[in-house]
Structure 1
Amino acid sequence: MSIRRARWKTGDTGGNPPARTLVRNAKLAALPVAFAGRQMAGAGKRALGRPAAEIDREIQLRTAQHIFEVLGELKGCAAKLGQVLAVYELALPPDLAEPYRIALSRLQNAMPPMLPGTVHQVLTGAFGTNWRHHFREFDDRRHASATIGQVHRAVWHDGRPVAVKVMYPGARAAVLSDLEQLRRIAPLASVFMPCSDARALVDELARAVRAELDYAAEAHNQHAYAIAYADDPDFRVPRVLAQHGDVIVSEWLDGIPLTRVITSGAEIERDRVGLLALRFVWGSPTRTGTLYGDPHPGNFLVQPDGRLGVVDFGACLPWPPPHFGPMLYDGADALLNGDREDFDAAVRRYGFVGRDRTFDVDALMAVIDPYLEILRHDIYRVDSAWLRRMVLMSVNPSLNNVGRQLTMPDGYVPIWRSLIGLVGMCAQLGVTGPIRDEILRWSPELTAVMARYRERTGGPADLHAARLRRAGRIGRDFAAG
């Protein structure tokens, strides 16, 4: 027996993601045990006189590192949860956030590759023993990774360069096993989100992840997007050429990964690409009847001709969810043009809190209002410092835990996930530009609310935009709207 085969049978996968139920469950089960141990140790340190705030921060840091490391090893559903939690590292001071970023980098970029024999096994199951007849060339080396699979570069039988997305063997069973374990460790999310109902969040996220296990549905979504964006001057979606079982073959996209644009792109390019990403995600319901549900830098490429290429369509949500348009109008109108009683009524009307249940209206308004600044300005900047302020406000326990007083209507958690991903990506890019206009372009509800706002306020000059122009931060194109 080879060394690699021996590792697989004993639970050391030798490069393939761990799939044995006992191994995966043990890793997840160890998280709350370790957390309890840190809390007990922290109590002892407090008794010896160490500052409570210092101890709590230490517990938070070590727990988060442990969570991200385990999620990064397990992948699948666990990795999706880790991606959602990733934005919360911004709530930490920069000197403490670095270990989070290291762990998240492993989670997002260090997926162990499948061995060539395993890849060939999946392709045989999808296309049959003559699978190579479909390709002129096939590169056994992994080109990119996904949470439940990986992508290979190949040449299709007609000579077109293609991307071949292959699911890990056993990924479905592993993910379904994760779901129950993640429900058990959900309370640990209070380390990041002390004001939220973490178990409900995990349940809704699990629903979305189950849908992403269906490669036939993903291929259908991608086909619909490719038709909707065919010959678009701003975007390119690769066409699907074949889908069988756990394999999707689609056109190859060359381009600069958005991760590289974030780290080394010029400001004007980061602004342009960020606004394009906003246009794609926020405009996708109008174009396709679905919301693009998984916006993160790994799914976008800047094409040689300047267009934004988009991949990975496993998380597309039917649109709209029940009562979304009226909810968006009533909620925004209450905040921008009404009062706390109007907002209280809107929150209850659309099921975010029970009609007979009390909740802190002022605390919730305090959390949401800073985001509305985007709508109050012609030109706005979204960067990591801004997002850090927003996250700190959202997770601030002093707001009477208003998050725990609320419920999330069916279908809204995936929307929240998509918006969090989009905002986080724009913040990493440090986007400055006419963000409001891009949002209003695709939202007649918010356009109507802002028309009332301008009429009510008299349309004051945008001092924020003027300051940025004087500082030379905004180019002429953006300044002209």
Structure 2
Amino acid sequence: MTDIPRRAAHRTAKLASLPLGVAGRLAAGWGKRLTGHNAAEISAEVSAKTAEQVFAVLGQLKGGAMKFGQALSVFEAAVPDEMAGPYREALTKLQAAAPPMPASSVHRVLDEQLGRGWRKRFADFDDTPAAAASIGQVHQATWHDGREIAVKVQYPGADEALRSDLRQLMRFSRLFQSLAPGAEVKPLLAELQDRMVEELDYRTEAANQRAFAAAFRDDEQVFVPRVLASSPKVIATEWVTGTPFSRIIADGARAERDEAGRLLSEFHFSSPARVGLLHADPHPGNFLLLPDGRLTVIDFGAVARLPEGLPPTMGRMLRLAIEDRSEELLELLRDERFVQPDQDLRAEDVHAYLAPFVDPARTEKFHFTRAWLQQQAERVGDLRSPDFRTARLLNLPPDYLLIHRVTLGATGILCQLDAEVAARDIIARWQPGFGD
């Protein structure tokens, strides 16, 4: 067996161990309950051990598994408070923690990507990585003209690792279909696969970042670092120093939390109109506040391409839900394939399911809290709930996959920030269809 298949088999075994380990701990938990142990203590214990395994497995992997862990980390706000501690600690680590690549491997990638004379392009290059990304690691360096820069170097074998992870996800398509019988699962997974594979070529990321940097040049609220050099597996950009959202989430003052939430919301909703692209990797590690108050955004490997801006359908759905026009809402959802023709859904059930999600657009200001997000997660995750049954019969068209995921991710960050934001005003200015 060659190294790559051996590594792939090892990765597959690790990924497979996650659901098996969780199932085993849940079974043990039920055993303890039958013998009289306290249910809350058992749930907390299971959560702690599961969080440890999630980090132990995903933290050792790169590619799709690492990206999966980073995506999970923004949703820890939805975990009930008594269980959130272990997840918060373990999953937050995934935003910045990964085994570092040896300096010799870094130099070999730079030789291959920038040529053996790459050192002449730098006045200085720090071999110790400053941060880890999902499929690469970031080094601080000084460009030949004296500018401080960030150099992201892709892990050797990351491309095969990512493709292996995605193949594993495709193998579970039948399982996903059983969980959501009203959804077109295979097209969704195919769309996810296509977008993630795009991230393997840093030249695509560089083009995305250049587009954002041009659109937000001299902007008073948002700063996007310029790209200085790029190749398929290396990208060099301006270095930025600011306060990461993770620190604001941990101990930021009220005013700082609200401003961070406002800037994130403005960036999320305005980008499709200004750039024709939506930054599609929302986790706290990709957002910082500069000393001058501007929002800095990094990592443009994942984007949703929206040359016409955000779809007006989303604005119309919001407006109809807010105004309690349930019959028109169901008709729109059928027309846009959110409800399949063969699904028998009542308009009032669909409205009841969607209405709480549009709460941020109902009032002049909305307070995004962990409690609110937890309430929504519990509501749609309760197997006995009518909302759970409704959710299983709804479909997510592939065109909306990234928009939906990014919106959920951004909402998760807002709830982690505990931010109060004038979301309705931002939506009214940037979301087509909302004012119709």
Alignment TM-score > 0.5, same fold: yes
**Pick aligned residue for 2:278 from 283, 286, 291:** 291
Paired position in structure 2 for 1:372: 358
Paired position in structure 1 for 2:57: 70
5 Å-filtered alignment, 1:147-186, equals: 147-184=134-171
Q: Aligned equivalents of 1:76 and 1:423: distance in 2? A: 24
- TM-aligned CA deviation for residue 66 of structure 1: 3.3
Secondary structure in 2 aligned to 1:230? coil
Closer, same or farther: CA 25–39 of 1 in aligned 2, 3 Å: same
Secondary structure in 1 aligned to 2:314? helix
Paired position in structure 1 for 2:325: 339
- TM-aligned CA deviation for residue 395 of structure 1: 1.9
Q: Aligned equivalents of 2:251 and 2:181: distance in 1? A: 36
Paired position in structure 2 for 1:273: 260
Is 1:442 aligned with 2:430? Answer: yes
Secondary structure in 2 aligned to 1:20? helix
Paired position in structure 2 for 1:409: 397
Whether the aligned pair in 1 keeps the contact of 2:73 and 2:92 (CA below 8 Å) is no
Q: Aligned equivalents of 2:201 and 2:169: distance in 1? A: 21
- TM-aligned CA deviation for residue 63 of structure 1: 4.9
Closer, same or farther: CA 185–111 of 1 in aligned 2, 3 Å: farther
Structure 1: tracts of 5 or more residues without a match: 1-8, 12-17, 449-481
Q: Percent identity?
A: 42
Q: Which has the higher contact order (CA 8 A, sep 6+)?
A: 2
Q: Aligned equivalents of 2:308 and 2:203: distance in 1? A: 23
Secondary structure in 1 aligned to 2:268? helix
Whether the aligned pair in 1 keeps the contact of 2:283 and 2:409 (CA below 8 Å) is yes
Whether the aligned pair in 1 keeps the contact of 2:206 and 2:230 (CA below 8 Å) is yes
**Pick aligned residue for 1:381 from 367, 375, 379:** 367
- TM-aligned CA deviation for residue 268 of structure 1: 0.8
Whether the aligned pair in 2 keeps the contact of 1:360 and 1:402 (CA below 8 Å) is no
Q: Aligned equivalents of 1:196 and 1:297: distance in 2? A: 32
Secondary structure in 2 aligned to 1:180? helix
Whether the aligned pair in 2 keeps the contact of 1:240 and 1:250 (CA below 8 Å) is yes
Whether the aligned pair in 2 keeps the contact of 1:72 and 1:104 (CA below 8 Å) is no
Q: Aligned equivalents of 1:118 and 1:436: distance in 2? A: 49
Paired position in structure 2 for 1:308: 295
Whether the aligned pair in 1 keeps the contact of 2:151 and 2:237 (CA below 8 Å) is yes
Give the TM-score, by structure 1 length: 0.81
Secondary structure in 1 aligned to 2:165? helix
Structure 2: tracts of 5 or more residues without a match: none
Paired position in structure 2 for 1:110: 97
- TM-aligned CA deviation for residue 412 of structure 1: 1.3
Secondary structure in 2 aligned to 1:416? helix
Q: Aligned equivalents of 2:10 and 2:411: distance in 1? A: 35
Q: Aligned equivalents of 1:38 and 1:199: distance in 2? A: 29
Closer, same or farther: CA 29–148 of 1 in aligned 2, 3 Å: same
Paired position in structure 2 for 1:465: none
- TM-aligned CA deviation for residue 147 of structure 1: 0.5
Paired position in structure 2 for 1:475: none
Secondary structure in 1 aligned to 2:291? coil
Name the aligned partner's letter for residue 59 of structure 2: G
Is 1:220 aligned with 2:195? Answer: no
- TM-aligned CA deviation for residue 90 of structure 1: 3.5
Q: Tell me the C-alpha RMSD between the 2 structures.
A: 3.2
Closer, same or farther: CA 332–435 of 1 in aligned 2, 3 Å: closer
Q: Aligned equivalents of 1:279 and 1:101: distance in 2? A: 26
Whether the aligned pair in 2 keeps the contact of 1:122 and 1:169 (CA below 8 Å) is yes
5 Å-filtered alignment, 1:119-268, equals: 119-184=106-171, 203-268=190-255
More displaced 10-residue stretch of structure 1: 408-417 or 131-140: 408-417
- TM-aligned CA deviation for residue 424 of structure 1: 1.1
Give the TM-score, by structure 2 length: 0.88
Whether the aligned pair in 1 keeps the contact of 2:73 and 2:283 (CA below 8 Å) is no
Whether the aligned pair in 1 keeps the contact of 2:338 and 2:397 (CA below 8 Å) is yes
5 Å-filtered alignment, 1:393-432, equals: 393-397=379-383, 398-399=385-386, 400-432=388-420
Closer, same or farther: CA 414–303 of 1 in aligned 2, 3 Å: same
- TM-aligned CA deviation for residue 94 of structure 1: 1.4
Closer, same or farther: CA 203–239 of 1 in aligned 2, 3 Å: same
Whether the aligned pair in 2 keeps the contact of 1:197 and 1:403 (CA below 8 Å) is no
Paired position in structure 2 for 1:476: none
More displaced 10-residue stretch of structure 1: 106-115 or 141-150: 106-115
Q: Aligned equivalents of 1:113 and 1:420: distance in 2? A: 30
Closer, same or farther: CA 244–420 of 1 in aligned 2, 3 Å: same
**Higher-Rg member (1/2):** 1
More displaced 10-residue stretch of structure 1: 283-292 or 201-210: 201-210
1:416-456, CA deviations, whole angstroms, 9 ceiling, x for partnerless residues?
111111111111111113221112111242123xxxxxxxx
Q: Aligned equivalents of 2:39 and 2:374: distance in 1? A: 23
